[in-house]
């Protein structure tokens, strides 16, 4: 009895201590799919992926650390591998390309690379040499995965593929590696993947979850798709703004792989999609690649059929935009897209009741990869032959590109010009400078007008397109990407019938418009009087005893110069009118540091030169503050004192992560000054007095009355509020602060808006009749601008038009921005600035608000009449260029003509600055980014009342 009691007691205690606090699930997702992914005769000296994971391979998402550990271990275990670290992410994670081939091929990689380079330049290589290169070269495949961090199955497949190729002793694999170099880029976006893996950890419960709406599957803001600064890396392949792409692209370009596989995921309820793409397809892509795309798709489809897996091709995947991984197609390589339905580790239940497991999705990517490699093995030689023919064509006189030269006109914006040169050179594009003026028959301007007998000024950047990478050059520099008629018809049909679009990305993207650099295209092959382009040497002239030091305001880096000095406590001024001091020409917006403003600052001149050196920015020393006649003198009103911006960038909640991320990146990348990214909800509970500048990236704000009131009060007390796109909509008169309206609510007051516009037009083009002006008698023939038009529309006509025109808004096209060249927001801008436009709020200024940039370049016309476009009138002899590049339907041009792209309004002691669009788009829209940098850095000094600390 005593013994039994003791036993019973012991049992109770142990049950109390060891019971798991959570219930065991009734099923496990890893049991859903029992097919083996890694099935072969494997070398036992190579570690199975399970050794690097804390779960069975393929059943869950491997973390970036686990994948990295595997890659680095494999580098030591096998002689079939060479691992190259090609970059580091913003968060410090390494990016790897894993070269896999036979041991002897691995020893000869440099030789292959050289042969590929020779095969790519028909100016140095002849047919005989090409034939022998092709005969001896192994096939080269670049297999890349999970560029979107939450599209995880690709990288998990990559881990298995690396192992399979390294460890397999099957003759098929050994033979393949004798004849092929497989380069695996297992995870292209480890920062995004890590964010998603962390959220999986956080949202994982005990039982598997098959509901694709659960947070386990979706993750949350800012999501794992993008990198550290929330950039979509699969839009960055020629903008090259992020370290992942900046490291990857030069290595791919060195290797010129025959195929580039890009493994993604799409909606959870989808199946699997691969190439070839549907229209629109960029017309600069070699048709041979479409042919090869079909060959690969055919074999891949057979592999899926054999496994009883569903798939499709060519449904929504188009190929107009050259910033996808398919930039490679313009270089003659085949791009192949995988889109696997997306799920987290557990799997997703489908309408028919079945569950697709994560492991199966990894298997799809694995099988696709092996299928593609086999197809390449079969057709490598024929593909090399086509590649060679393409490269020969590009440098032949018969090339459609032979008589085409791109010219970027000289500018003092050296920072921007150097950035452009870097991007072009990363793509092996040869760029030149002309040493004397070049006479041409005609030149096409960015606005679409041709100029006869155009002289290219000395110091232009010249890119003749008779060179090996001609199709890529055309794709990224041609002012307009051709969209064929049948595509336009289908697009219009979709717009009318379903309000939808077949355009998957922007329809305009050329680099010179993106960068806001003036350029022309010449239909001639320019080769004479050119020298290789080199960055212009920077002159740092910082004399200690100068009166002041100045930097040219055209250069974007002048904004960073001002911002960084202010952060160091230096008083900085800006000259708001073109000046000439000590023989230095200083355009409006030039930044000066005056010794007298900073009497107590120790070592001022060395701080000035240190900052200029960091920015690689020319500085001049000024010894006299005298500007002749009406030119600014240093004691006059044109030397404006700046105020250090104290910046809050709103984020989270309902803001667009892309627009938040790119704005954050621009603050860090272009300025490098302190700022706070704050949660949007701090409008209600935060202390806004810490900031004098608040940035609201695009977002569907739903501000409460008290939030709106605290924002208004903050503005009135001297704050600078800057908003983009959807946030501008939320802050316009109808919903928010100030008097800037959206066009749809202005048709009752169209006359007044038109009158304001006529004053602007009049001021742009003042013409007076001296005789009539000095006549003492009444002139009965005075022309009033608003009385001339014969086709005026009334309110209900305007409303109807607006509703119809709204159907046709652009989805990312360039339209002409007409800048107010006296406004401080436009410092450093060219006068006709291409601005990217989409379905943005159409902004209208009135009642004292400024339009620093309006839509439409004002040009001359022979028409003698007043003509109305919706609410606005065009005076006699004037016309308006709206579209610059991409698809802008005529209805859309009418709707946005003369509306404001950038507005600024004084409210109390502060101001509100609204951008209709997203000025920092993809980190590449440097033209509009400059307007934004002006707003952020100069706003608190130039647009608000100076705060004097007593
Ligand atoms: Zn993707």
Q: What is the DSSP letter of 881?
A: E
178 phi, psi to nearest 5 deg: -65, -30
Contact 776, 748 (CB under 8 A): no
H or E element at residue 815: strand 813-819
Dist CA 662 CA 213 (whole Å) = 27
CA distances from 157 to 94, 114, 570 (A): 19, 31, 55
Q: Which two tokens stand for residue 806?
A: 């709204």
777 C-alpha to ligand 1 centroid (Å): 74
881 C-alpha to ligand 1 centroid (Å): 37
Q: Any idea which residue has 């795309």 for tokens?
A: 293
CA distances from 762 to 24, 204, 270, 278, 831 (A): 79, 66, 57, 49, 18
699 C-alpha to ligand 1 centroid (Å): 23
What does pLDDT average to in each consecutive run of 10 residues of the chain (950 residues)?
51 57 88 94 98 96 98 98 98 98 98 98 98 98 98 98 98 98 98 97 94 94 97 98 98 98 95 89 93 96 96 87 96 96 91 93 98 98 98 97 98 96 98 97 95 97 98 98 95 95 94 98 96 89 94 98 98 96 95 96 96 96 91 92 97 94 98 96 89 97 90 95 97 89 95 93 90 92 81 93 97 97 97 97 93 96 92 94 98 98 97 98 98 98 83
Q: Which two tokens stand for residue 332?
A: 């003659």
Which pLDDT score is estimated for 1?
A: 45
224 C-alpha to ligand 1 centroid (Å): 11
pTM of the model: 0.96
152 C-alpha to ligand 1 centroid (Å): 10
340 C-alpha to ligand 1 centroid (Å): 9
151 C-alpha to ligand 1 centroid (Å): 6
Strands in 538-675 per DSSP E: 548-551, 573-575, 579-581, 584-586, 590-594, 620-622, 639-641, 647-651
91 C-alpha to ligand 1 centroid (Å): 21
Alpha-helical (H) ranges within 214-286 are 215-218, 243-255
Dist CA 659 CA 661 (whole Å) = 5
Which pLDDT score is estimated for 153?
A: 98
600 C-alpha to ligand 1 centroid (Å): 55
Q: Which two tokens stand for residue 398?
A: 């018969």
419 C-alpha to ligand 1 centroid (Å): 27
361 C-alpha to ligand 1 centroid (Å): 14
Q: Any idea which residue has 């983009």 for tokens?
A: 724
Q: Any idea which residue has 């490291």 for tokens?
A: 247
Alpha-helical (H) ranges within 650-723 are 657-666, 682-685, 705-716
Q: How does strand 334-341 pair with strand 259-266?
A: parallel
Alpha-helical (H) ranges within 859-925 are 890-896
232 C-alpha to ligand 1 centroid (Å): 9
148 C-alpha to ligand 1 centroid (Å): 5
Picking from 547, 557, 530, 701, the residue whose alpha carbon sits closest to that of residue 639 is 547
Q: Which two tokens stand for residue 683?
A: 């409008």
Ligand 1 ion: nearby residues, β-carbon < 5 Å: 148, 151, 264
Q: What is the DSSP letter of 401?
A: T
Picking from 829, 813, 835, the residue whose alpha carbon sits closest to that of residue 901 is 835
Which pLDDT score is estimated for 790?
A: 76
60 C-alpha to ligand 1 centroid (Å): 19
Q: First-to-last CA distance in the chain? A: 91
Q: Is the dihedral of CA 218, 219, 221, 222 positive or negative?
A: negative
Which pLDDT score is estimated for 783?
A: 82
Contact 230, 662 (CB under 8 A): yes
- DSSP class per residue in 526-556: --TTEEE--PPPP-B---TT-SEEEE-TTST
Contact 27, 208 (CB under 8 A): yes
Contact 887, 483 (CB under 8 A): yes
* Residues in the chain, total: 950
Contact 487, 374 (CB under 8 A): no
């Amino acid at each position: 009895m005593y013994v039994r009691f003791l036993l019973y007691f012991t049992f109770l205690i142990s049950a109390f201590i060891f019971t798991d606090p959570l219930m065991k699930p009734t099923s496990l997702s890893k049991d859903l799919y029992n097919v083996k992914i890694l099935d072969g005769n494997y070398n036992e000296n190579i570690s199975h992926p399970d050794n690097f994971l804390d779960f069975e391979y393929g059943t869950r998402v491997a973390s970036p650390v686990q994948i990295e550990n595997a890659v680095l271990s494999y580098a030591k275990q096998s002689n079939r591998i060479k691992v190259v670290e090609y970059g580091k992410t913003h968060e410090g994670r390494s990016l790897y390309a894993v070269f896999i081939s036979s041991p002897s091929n691995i020893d000869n990689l440099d030789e292959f690379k050289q042969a590929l380079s020779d095969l790519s330049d028909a100016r140095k290589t002849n047919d005989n040499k090409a034939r022998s290169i092709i005969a001896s070269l192994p096939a080269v495949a670049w297999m890349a995965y999970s560029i979107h961090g939450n599209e995880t199955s690709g990288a998990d497949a990559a881990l298995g593929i690396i192992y399979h190729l390294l460890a397999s002793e099957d003759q098929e694999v050994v033979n393949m590696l004798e004849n092929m170099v497989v380069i695996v880029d297992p995870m292209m976006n480890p920062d995004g993947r890590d964010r998603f893996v962390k959220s999986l950890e956080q949202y994982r419960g005990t039982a598997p979850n098959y509901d694709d709406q659960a947070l386990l599957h979706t993750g949350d803001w800012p999501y794992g798709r993008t990198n550290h600064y929330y950039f979509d890396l699969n839009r960055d392949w020629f903008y090259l703004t992020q370290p992942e792409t900046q490291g990857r692209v030069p290595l791919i370009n060195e290797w010129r792989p025959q195929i580039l596989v890009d493994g993604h995921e799409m909606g959870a309820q989808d199946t699997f999609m691969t190439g070839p793409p549907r229209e629109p397809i960029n017309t600069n892509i070699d048709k041979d690649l479409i042919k090869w795309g079909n060959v690969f798709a055919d074999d891949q489809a057979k592999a899926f059929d054999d496994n009883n897996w569903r798939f499709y091709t060519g449904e929504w995947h188009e190929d107009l935009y050259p910033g996808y991984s398919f930039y490679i197609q313009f270089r003659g390589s085949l791009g192949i897209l995988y889109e696997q339905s997306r799920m987290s580790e557990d799997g997703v239940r489908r309408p028919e009741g079945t569950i697709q497991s994560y492991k199966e999705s990894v298997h799809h990517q694995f099988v696709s990869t092996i299928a593609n490699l086999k197809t390449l093995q079969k057709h490598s030689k024929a593909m090399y032959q086509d590649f060679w023919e393409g490269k020969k064509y590009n440098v032949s006189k018969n090339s459609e590109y032979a008589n085409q030269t791109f010219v970027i006109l000289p500018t003092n914006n050296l920072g921007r010009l150097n950035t452009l040169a870097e991007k072009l050179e990363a793509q092996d594009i040869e760029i030149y400078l002309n040493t004397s003026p070049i006479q041409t028959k005609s030149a096409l301007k960015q606005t679409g007008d041709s100029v006869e007998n155009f002289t290219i000024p000395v110091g232009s950047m010249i890119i003749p397109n008779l060179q090996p990478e001609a199709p890529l050059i055309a794709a990224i520099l041609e002012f307009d990407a051709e969209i064929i008629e049948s595509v336009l018809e289908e697009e219009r049909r979709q717009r009318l019938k379903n309000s939808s679009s077949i355009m998957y990305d922007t329809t305009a993207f050329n680099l010179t418009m993106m960068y806001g650099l003036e350029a022309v295209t010449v239909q001639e092959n320019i080769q004479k009087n050119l020298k290789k382009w080199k960055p212009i040497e920077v002159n740092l002239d910082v004399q200690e005893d100068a009166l002041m030091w100045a930097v040219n305001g055209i250069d974007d880096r002048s904004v960073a110069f001002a911002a960084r000095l202010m952060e160091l406590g230096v008083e900085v001024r800006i000259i708001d009118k073109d000046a000439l001091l000590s023989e230095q020409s200083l355009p409006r917006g030039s930044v000066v540091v005056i010794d007298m403003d900073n009497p107590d600052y120790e070592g001022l001149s060395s701080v000035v030169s240190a900052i200029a050196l960091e920015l690689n920015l020319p500085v001049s020393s000024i010894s006299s503050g005298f500007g002749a006649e009406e030119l600014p003198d240093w004691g006059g009103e044109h030397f404006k004192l700046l105020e250090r911006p104290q910046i809050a960038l709103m984020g989270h909640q309902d803001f667009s992560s892309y627009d938040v991320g790119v704005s954050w990146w621009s603050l860090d990348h272009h300025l490098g000054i302190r700022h706070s990214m704050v949660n949007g909800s701090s409008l209600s509970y935060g202390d806004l007095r810490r900031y004098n500048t608040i940035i609201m990236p695009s977002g569907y704000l739903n501000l409460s009355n008290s939030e709106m009131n605290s924002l208004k009060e903050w503005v009135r007390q001297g704050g600078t509020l800057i908003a983009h796109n959807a946030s501008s909509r939320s802050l316009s008169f109808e919903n928010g602060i100030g008097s800037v309206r959206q066009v749809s609510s202005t048709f009752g007051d169209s006359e007044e808006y038109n009158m304001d516009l006529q004053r602007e037009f009049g001021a742009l083009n003042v013409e007076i009749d001296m005789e009539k002006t000095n006549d003492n008698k009444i002139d009965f023939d005075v022309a009033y601008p608003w009385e001339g038009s014969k086709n005026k529309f009334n309110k209900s006509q305007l409303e109807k038009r607006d509703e119809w025109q709204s159907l046709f808004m652009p989805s990312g096209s360039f339209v002409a921005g007409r800048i107010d060249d006296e406004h401080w927001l436009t410092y450093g801008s060219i006068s006709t600035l291409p601005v990217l436009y989409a379905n943005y709020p159409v902004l209208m200024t009135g009642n004292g608000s400024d339009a620093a940039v309006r839509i439409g370049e004002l040009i001359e016309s022979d028409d003698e009449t007043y003509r109305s476009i919706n609410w606005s009138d065009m005076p006699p002899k004037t016309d308006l260029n709206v579209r610059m590049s991409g698809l802008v339907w005529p209805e859309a041009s009418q709707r946005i003509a003369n509306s404001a792209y950038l507005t600024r309004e004084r409210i109390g002691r502060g101001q509100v600055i609204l951008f209709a669009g997203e000025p920092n788009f993809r980190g590449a829209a440097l033209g509009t980014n400059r307007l934004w940098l002006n707003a952020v850095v100069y706003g608190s000094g130039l647009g608000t009342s100076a705060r004097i600390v007593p």
